[in-house]
Structure 1
Amino acid sequence: MTTFIRTSILAASIAMIVAGGLTQGVAHGAPVVQPAGKMDIAIPDVPYTKFVLKNGLTLLVHEDHKTPVVAINTWYHVGSKNEKAGKTGFAHLFEHLMFSGSENFNKGYINAMERIGATNLNGTTNQDRTNYFENVPTSMLDYALFAESDRMGYLLGVIDQKKLDLQRGVVQNEKRQRENQPYGVAYQLLTENTWPAGHPYSWTVIGSMKDLDAASMPDVHEWFKSNYGPNNTTLVLAGDITPDVARQKVEKYFGDIPAGPPLAKHAAWIAKRTGTHRGLVQDRVPQARLYRVWNVPGAHTASEPLLDLAAHVLGGGKTSRFYKRLVYKEQLATSASASNDSSEIAGQFELTLTARPGVDLGRVEAAGDEELRTLMKSGPSAAELELAKTAILARYTRIVERVGGFGGKSDLLASCATFTGNPDCYKDYLKRIKAATPAQVKQAMNEWLSDGDYVLEVKPFPTGLSSTAKLDRSKEPAMGAPETLNLPPMQRTTLSNGLNVVLAERHAAPVVNFSMMVDSGYAADSPELPGVASLSLRMLEEGTPTRGSLKIGEEFESLGANFSANSNLDGGFVQLNALKATMPKALAVYADIVLHPAFPQNELERLKKDQLAAIQREKSNPNAMALRVIPSLLYGKDHAYSLPMSGTGTETSVARISRDDLVNYHRTWFKPNNATLLVVGDTTLAEVTPLLEKAFGGWKAGAVPKKNVVEVAQPAKTVVYLIDRPGSQQSVIYGVQLAPPRNSPDSVQLGVVNTIFGGSFSSRINMNLREDKHWSYGVGSQLPPAVGQRLYMSSSPVQTDKTRESLHELVMEYANVAGGKPITAAELQDAQTNATLGLPGSFETAGQLSSAYSTILQYKLPENYFNTYTGTVMAMTPEQTNALAARTIMPGKLVWVVVGDMSRVEAGIREMKLGEVRKIDVDGNPVQ
């Protein structure tokens, strides 16, 4: 499960008490009338019906019948600020305990939900609330509501010391994992030094190791009884359901749960500081970073939208002042951002500046301070403010695509209802955004950012990188049947120059997604010059003959459009997500970028520095360190797939890349006969084809080279590679082999085998190392897609003192799944239902549809791949599944890569005698 988040989602933490409600349903959702002005982006509307049960539970229902899925979003108005000093981390620990079973549903919650096809399944905790959410097939709603209600009303009877100790261990490993990441030390220091002692935000959400160790069973009972009553809860059902049906089901499952005790609520406590206070810490990072924080008013205050706009103008992307000066013009920083993080009783305005390697952090700080002071003196220009408003409104427009999960419609309603009692509160926020003036933004900045900052410098470590009728709960509701998948069909046309166009219509939101798919990718890089593909794609938006880099960013932001360009192993992708209202104008800019990149020399030099800095960051992150060397260990150094998995290349190659290399890459691979344009969203072929013909019709076809992706042999024997990362709190263990391509005949079935082994929460290796041994926050395995042979790899971050023991367990698990402990019928059935029942929840947004169709097109899968997927999965038998596992998984020929503190773990690994042990550096070179 996901753990905690530091700040609220979508400005959802609001400093008001949940208002009382009526016991009958009240429908809401009248259209919002837009005032006259420059922007034509409407404030989104999420209609809902509200009910309040007699036990105080607030129910909100939103109808959206585009897919047979219902989002369940449960918000408890309790977070880390409700803890006491000495008992910190309790809200988050309890979030984990809520997943461990209840009196009438005594099973792992995630395992059970995976079996019924739940997607967007998780729980999170922040300072102000704890939420639990899942999207379930409509036919499984009763089952899920039974489970959700049972853990609300009937948890304590099955919480014992063993469960408490297990989840305590999981949380502590999560804390280690977070702190083991570059810059992970900053969060604790920022929290402790920006709030006064005793302030409810003065401890971290995850808490301290000491307090977690001290958590007792009486603490568990007191916390649950005090905070998890229905009268402290907002439940949102959004999706394929009607208000009447929702009310009946919620009354049935939640109505007999008694209300909890009355709760005191915190009042606003901004804790504005005076003077400047500074801190310095060293971390194993390649780049120095500066954090600068002010305490400011919280969410849904008059200041919040003004400071949000100020943060966007100052450091909100490529149109921001920070980016233009620090990253783009003077190139002092590789990233520079500003954010206004709004929580319930207070907020924080934060600047985060990461120095470019070799640049003194003091210069970065001075430049950032100068930009801040200039903006405070003059305020934003009208044009800057208009861009910021458009960006925020466009972000909210995209919310209406999704019913659940982070940032979906149910999240929006739940947050507003929890903190204000008004599920429509986001409309008031957006009205304030639209009405804000430059003078108001300037005033808010001067009121709150003129004094009282805390500055934390993170410097590289000196050694370098290194009342309802009682429900009968004796029997669970019967599981429903899989829902029928009804995806929009793939419509096809061809432009006059041969460019293939594929369209999937989806009219749920006024948004259209364009993806230009070019058959290239990292595999198109020459062995002598890796990194060209990824750098070329990044350079696309840095200018055309008629548009400079900053102008491109400003045009897209003014149109409410999002642009991105990236590569994977086998392809390049240029993406545009446009609002329907501005689609023609956005397409004109998009086509110019795709067809006419200028690859300006000054931008190339800047992005080369950024890419070199990214490589340095990879070489300090334990997971990325392994992923840089694994491909060459499996494919051999001359193979097209042997490059670091990030595609960034090497320091040597990136330093040598010239503008001519990028021009040649674009000229060679970017041709209409080597590309497909995938369009998903609120348009039709009749509408979009003339626009595409106008934008891309002049693009000329031509010959394209063939990539040489040869088949290689599996490793002959087990080899263990060790990479030293001194001081690591965890070791990261990778087990790797080769697997058949993504479009192999058994690809679907192999995915099910992987689900059982390591591809789900309830997988064998995760249940072993996390849930049974609690040596890790979470382990898993994956099959990254490829046109040629794929990698099949497990990834296991484990506490350092359990490295040898964890490796032993993994070796055993590989041997078991390959035949030592055959996959059972029950395991297969769980994986089958998880894969098939969860399928409808995977196609909710235009982006999800685009991703699915991209997979079909890139890997040349059958067009009916997803329509036949359920039948293919359900036809699997245990005998076929075990035969596939036995011939695919090769325990005796695995390549193991361990990244950790070798002074503590090397001897133990060698004592295992798994095979030859080789020490290598972060570039894969031998180390004596």
Structure 2
Amino acid sequence: MRSFSTSSVTALAAALALSACASSAPPLASAGPLPGSSAPSTGAAAAASPQELVSRVDIPFEKFVLANGLTTIVHTDRKSPIVGVTIYYKVGSKNEPRGRTGFAHLYEHLFFGGSSNVPNFDIPLEAAGSTSTNGSTWYDRTNYVETVPTGALDLALFMESDRMGALLPAVTQDKLDKQRGVVQNEKRQGDNQPYGLAEYAVAEGLFPVGHPYRHSTIGSMADLNAASLGDVRKWFTDHYGPNNVVLALSGDIDAATARPLVEKWFGAIPKGPEVAPVAAGPVTLPASVSRDMTDQVPVLRLTRQWSAPGLNDPDAAPLRVGMHILGGLASSRLDNALVRGSQQAVSVSASAQVYEQVGVLEASMDVKPGVERTAAETALDKVIAEFLSAGPTPDEVRRAVVSTLSGEIGGLEQVGGFSGKGATLAEGQIYSGDPAHYKADLQAIAALTPEQIRSAMQKWMGRPVFKLAIVPGERTDSGNEMGGWGDEKEKAAPQPDARQKAPKLAPAPKRVAPPVAPVSELSFPAIERATLSNGIPVTLARRTAVPKLVLSIDFDAGYAADALDTPGTQGLMLGMLEEGTKTRNATQIAEEQERLGASIGTGATLDTSSVMLSALSANLAPSLDLMADLLLNPAFAEADFERARGQAQAELAQVESTPAALAGRTLGTELFGDHPYAQPSDGLGTKTALSALTPAALRAAHAKWLRPDLARITVVGDVTMAELKPLLEKALGSWKAPAAPRPAKLLDAATPKPSARIVLVDRPNSPQSVIFAGRVLPLTGRTAGQEPLTLANEVVGDGFLSRLNLDIREEKGWSYGVRTGVTQSTGPRALQVMAPVQADRTGDSVRAIMADMAAFPAKQPVSAEEYQRVTDGSIRGLPNQFETNGQVLAAITRNERLGRPDDYYVRLAATYRAIDAKRIGAAAGQYLQPSDLTWVIVGDRRIVEPQLKGLGLPVEVRQGPADSASPAPGEEAQGE
């Protein structure tokens, strides 16, 4: 998909920013040791120091510059026969003039529409085994990425150079109009989310009209409507010259090989004009400002924002880490005070979004229902003020730094993509003039002192603040009127006819695409197996690319287990494992992970409940000990339970106010009836069920389902079996199965007969409708020989080039993206269709989906192009699927759950080669037809219902879930 990035920091700093934006960790009884106990030994003495971690981060590179100014950076990484191709154009939304907001992003979409010698960028590359070609736009840059098999690098460079040098003759008014519709639906999709208009309000509050960072990257509807073909040409010629570009090649490539290829394809492109620098910087408000917005949200959200300096400023590092300590760490100040302490919040966060020339500091609090607003505001401001006054402790700084650097080391597994090594080098060059600037960033982070952080935060957060509150109620603002320059109501910018004719351009010189060289066969890591003394099987795939590993303990339980318990039991029980043990409370658990650079989490699917660990190899022993304590000795304390349940109830309210999540929950229940898979796939159960749960019920579920005879351990990373098994034996070997028989889920239970009908869930004021559809298939996950169905699904709906996406997004412009999927559950599989569409095209979209699916294969069998793409492309793309330890672990656990052999993926190429177009069509005819789909549509009934009358399907209208987590509009929340 072509999307604008939601992250604004450099690639190497992304781990910090993302964790700082995360929701709060589950609560605990107190921030100190449990009564009558002392803090347990953390093993922190064995942990690597920040300086040692920084010394392990190295991305060697070579750089050369062509005569036309194109800068190329090459990093060699031979672990897999793939090359990340990453191109950064130093132009973003901050370069847009008044009246043309959103244009940089709109142009990015057009960049995929074909050039003079490449009618379609996606088809040749995906057929060659590339990851999906993608791009993103942000304030400071536009980037384009793909990761290709080594043999397809020549093709990728040819295509990138053709759109850099020969794009405009192929850009037509029709293409512009279609992509305009796609982008406007992307805007609607974001605006349609709970709190979806807050980003606009923050920019309006922090920056004056005309400031380059004030208008949103997605822009305003009016400006998108006004974009003309002449604007496209001017944007291209003004900004897309090679002298404004950094090309990064990372992976199975070296500079000696790369340079002649880059010279061959890019050398003749003429230099473009120099892009004038943009004057922008942080803004100090003359006085603090407050703004309230009402929105269809489950709980009151209070936020505080300040503008800050850009990424090259010395204060950038202390501000990032300071905000991480304030509200990003699991043991953050805001968490400890407001979630675990006063219990006035259900979640909190703090982050520093750092752009090239400015930054935005934000702290937020989702207020617990029933808490009086004034008290919540006072509490939030008090925590911030106390932190600014005293600053962080040395231990907080160390924990924040080590956890951040551990994340950076893990990020080095990827050579390409939006946050891999190629992006890190390219951003260093484009923002700071040095590809190795990441080292200076990390060294600055590692050397931080509490006083540096306190000083920087006092300097920037001691200024007047912008306060935004998102208040539950009927939405009164419209995203259609937001995101633009800011003076539209006072003095509208002149808007020429967006469809005015532009002069015809001369054709570009003819060039021929190079062939794809032979692609290496997949080399899947060797699998080693062992068994612990208590019978738990252990699977290891050793990989040494980075000094880290991932480990998963998987139990045959999952959300389907709630069919034998109360709905929501499994999810809440797993979440409570991080709440505290018999010797550690949640703050101590969080702090210990941060000191070790480890991350322990829990999660589940319909079939499996999991406890997961990401750890530095050097700190594996203490990390395993900590994980074992969480798994074997959970406290399920009453006070912790009440807070955790309150958070789960708030999360459920958030899910039910999010259109896609609500549609997914509704569809699952409609498809599966009384089958165990009818449990909500988010694991949250229902409001009634959550209210009925008790700590005793969670203890019983823990004993019932998390037992060694239902467990498997899988490990991928830098450790040997000789090192691993003794550590696992020490941590888990004495764990014995209970005398009670193993529980059994009834996955062979009957499911309802498929029924063609529509369930319309009314969600007023929705600019988009979210369409979900599906049916249960007469297959299970263990049914062998379903690879033709996989390929058939790829043709119809799985991927950018699928028939549904090309029709409804690319041809009609009604959606930002449509897709289909076939679940990989152990029990009955289900076909699912997902399509967020503009509200006034809901009925037309349902009709088009049905027609496209019915045509395959009866009226439109698999074409030669589609067949080659989904077979050869899938085969060539296999190495791309297993670049990271997490990807390998997921493949191993999937094979074990579905009864596949260890070499399934090695043999998959031969399996695909044996499947002809006829078998793909037969699978589509048998499993992917629309005649008996159940449809769930979440949208505005007033707009949608009239559109459904001509579809020939019965329609049942339901009201959206009542918002029990927040007071009704007009009611004042009462204090406790």
Report if TM-score (shorter chain) is over 0.5: yes
What corresponds to 1:346 in structure 2? 358
The one of 713, 717, 722 aligned to 1:686: 722
Does 2:820 match 1:781? Answer: yes
Matches for 1:144-223 after TM superposition, within 5 Å: 144-223=156-235
2:630 equivalent among 586, 590, 593: 593
Counterpart secondary structure, 1:892? coil
Deviations 1:364-420 (A, max 9, x none): 322121111111111111111111111221122112111111221111101000111
Determine if the alignment matches structure 1 residue 720 to structure 2 residue 749.
no
Distance change >3 Å, CA 581–CA 473, structure 1 → 2? farther
CA change 1:120–1:561 in 2 (3 A) is farther
Range moving further from structure 2, 826-835 or 442-451: 826-835
Please name the residue that 1:359 is paired with.
Answer: 371
Structure 1 residue 416 corresponds to structure 2 residue 452: no
The question of whether the paired residues in 2 share the 8 Å contact of 1:326 and 1:333 is answered with yes
Alignment of structure 1 residues 662-701 onto 2, 5 Å: 662-701=698-737
State which of 114, 119, 127 in structure 2 corresponds to 1:101. Answer: 114
Cα separation, 2, equivalents of 1:227 and 1:301? 26
Aligned counterpart, 1:735:
773
Amino acid at match of 1:604: F
Aligned counterpart, 2:417: 405
Equivalent residue for 2:584? 547
Specify which of 89, 95, 100 is matched with residue 87 of structure 1.
100
Moved more, 657-666 or 92-101: 657-666
Match of 2:511 among 467, 474, 482: 474
Question: Which shifted more, 573-582 or 624-633?
Answer: 624-633
Q: Match for 1:61: what amino acid?
A: V
- Structure of higher RCO (CA pairs closer than 8 Å, 6+ residues apart): 2
Q: Partners of 1:599 and 1:864 in 2: how far apart?
A: 41
1:643 aligns with 2:679: yes
Q: Tell me the distance in 2 between the aligned counterparts of 1:473 and 1:663.
A: 71
Partner of 2:920: 881
1:532 aligns with 2:544: no
Q: Which of 39, 45, 51 lines up with 2:58 in the alignment?
A: 45
- For the residue of structure 2 that corresponds to 1:280, the secondary structure is strand
Distance 1:12 1:502, change over 3 A: closer
Alpha carbons of structure 1 residues 842 and 38: separation in structure 2 relative to 1, 3 Å: closer
Q: Which moved more, 1:676-685 or 1:663-672?
A: 663-672
Identify the match of residue 308 of structure 2 among 283, 296, 299: 296
Task: Give the match for residue 556 of structure 1.
Answer: 593
Structure-to-structure mapping, 1:211-250, within 5 angstroms: 211-250=223-262
* SS class of match (2:514): coil
- Structure 1 residue 887: deviation in Å? 1.5
Write the distance in 1 (CA, Å) between the matches of 2:749 and 2:793.
Answer: 22
Find the partner of 1:830 among 869, 876, 882.
869
Residues 1:624 and 2:637 are matched in the alignment: no
Post-superposition offset of 1:254: 0.9
- Give the partner amino acid of 1:134: E
- Residue 489 (structure 1) aligned to one of 516, 523, 526: 526
CA drift at 1:6: 4.7
Which amino acid is 2:957 matched to? Answer: K
Q: Distance in 2 between matches of 1:731 and 1:670?
A: 40
Instruction: Map residues 436-455 of structure 1 onto 2, 5 A cutoff.
Output: 436-455=448-467
Structure 2 vs 1, CA of residues 245 and 358 (structure 1 numbering), >3 Å: closer, same or farther?
A: same
What residue number does 2:26 align with?
Answer: none
- Report how far residue 672 of structure 1 moved: 1.8
- Tell me the residue number matched to 2:932: 893
| C-alpha distance after superposition, 1:883-918 (max 9, x if no partner) | 12112124221111111111111122023222x222
Verify the 8 A CA contact 2:54 2:442 in the aligned structure 1.
Answer: no
Aligned-partner Cα distance in 2 for 1:845–1:250: 28
The Cα shift of 1:11 comes to: 6.3
Which of 870, 877, 882 matches 2:909? 870
CA offsets per residue over residues 777-816 of structure 1, 9 Å max, x none?
Answer: 1111112221111221101111111111111111112211
In 1, Cα distance between equivalents of 2:812 and 2:509: 35
d(CA) in 2 for partners of 1:69 and 1:463? 48
Map of 1:28 onto structure 2: none
1:904 and 1:340 map into 2 onto residues whose CA distance is 40
Give the aligned residue type for 1:5.
Answer: S
Separation (CA, whole Å) in 2 of partners of 1:288 and 1:111 = 46
User: SS at the partner of 1:525?
Assistant: helix
Kindly report which structure 2 residues correspond to 1:802-841, keeping only aligned pairs within 5 A, or say none: 802-817=841-856, 819-841=858-880
CA contact (8 A) 2:542 2:717 kept: yes
Q: What's the C-alpha RMSD, in Å, of the aligned pairs?
A: 1.9
**Residues 590 and 775 (structure 1), Cα distance of their counterparts in 2 relative to 1, 3 Å cut:** same
The C-alpha deviation readout for 1:7-36, integer Å capped at 9, x for no partner, is: 42436799xxxxxxxxxxxxxxxxxxxxx9
TM-score, normalised by the number of residues in structure 2: 0.89
Asked if the contact 2:763–2:960 (Cα under 8 Å) also holds between the matched residues in 1, the reply is no
| Contact 2:675 2:749 (8 Å CA) reproduced | no
| Equivalent position amino acid for 1:576 in 2 | L
* Contact 2:671–2:776 (Cα < 8 Å) also in 1: yes
CA shift, 1:472, in A, is: 7.8
Please name the residue that 2:483 is paired with: none
**Residues 619, 625 of structure 1: 8 Å contact kept:** yes
Question: How many angstroms apart in 2 are the aligned matches of 1:812 and 1:120?
Answer: 26
Match of 1:24 in 2: none
Match of 1:234, SS state, is: strand
Contact kept? 1:177, 1:777, Cα under 8 Å: yes
1:473 Cα deviation (Å)? 4.6
Give the residue type in structure 2 aligned to 1:731: S
Asked if 1 retains the 8 angstrom alpha-carbon contact of 2:353 and 2:359, the reply is yes
Output the CA distance in 2 between the equivalents of 1:788 and 1:551. Answer: 39
Contact 2:793 2:928 in 1 (8 A): no
> How far off is 1:166 after superposition?
0.8
Please name the residue that 2:648 is paired with: 611
Of 42, 56, 59, the match for 2:69: 56
Unmatched tracts of structure 1, length 5 or more: 15-35, 465-470
Q: Distance in 2 between matches of 1:716 and 1:235?
A: 51
Q: Is the 8 A contact 1:12 1:299 kept in 2?
A: no
2:619 to 582, 586, 597: 582
Contact 1:170 1:775 in 2 (8 A): yes
- Cα gap change, 1:692/1:472 in structure 2, threshold over 3 Å: closer, same or farther? farther
Q: Is contact 2:412–2:421 with CA below 8 Å preserved after alignment?
A: yes
The residue that corresponds to 1:378 in the other structure is: 390
Residue 784 of structure 2, aligned match among 745, 750, 765:
745
The answer as to whether partners of 1:13 and 1:128 remain within 8 angstroms in 2 is no
Counterpart residue number, 1:22: none
AA matched with 2:725: T
Maintained 8 Å contact 2:11/2:420: no
Equivalent residue, structure 1, for 2:968: none
- AA aligned opposite 1:381: T
Give me the whole-angstrom Cα distance separating, in 1, the residues matched to 2:312 and 2:270: 31
| Equivalence for 1:856 | 895
1:459 to 465, 471, 484: 471
CA distance in 2, matches of 1:463, 1:230: 45
* Contact 1:333–1:353 under 8 Å retained in 2: yes
**Count of matched residue pairs:** 894
Alpha-carbon offset, residue 284 of structure 1: 0.8
TM-superposed deviation, 1:267: 4.4
Query: Could you report, residue by residue, the CA deviation over 1:246-284 in whole angstroms, capped at 9, with x for unpaired residues?
Result: 111111111111111122112452222232111111111
Q: Map Cα deviations across residues 325-378 of structure 1 (whole Å, 9 max, x no partner).
A: 112222222221111111111111111221223333433322121111111111
Q: Return the letter of the residue paired with 2:700.
A: N
Q: Deviations over 1:38-68 (max 9, x none)?
A: 7532341110011111111111000111111
**Residue 387, structure 1, aligned to residue 399, structure 2:** yes
Task: Report the identity percentage.
Answer: 40
Contact preservation (8 Å) 1:270, 1:296:
yes
Q: What letter corresponds to residue 373 of structure 1 in structure 2?
A: A
For residue 830 of structure 2, the aligned residue among 746, 769, 791 is: 791
- CA distance in 2 between counterparts of 1:110 and 1:367 reads 52
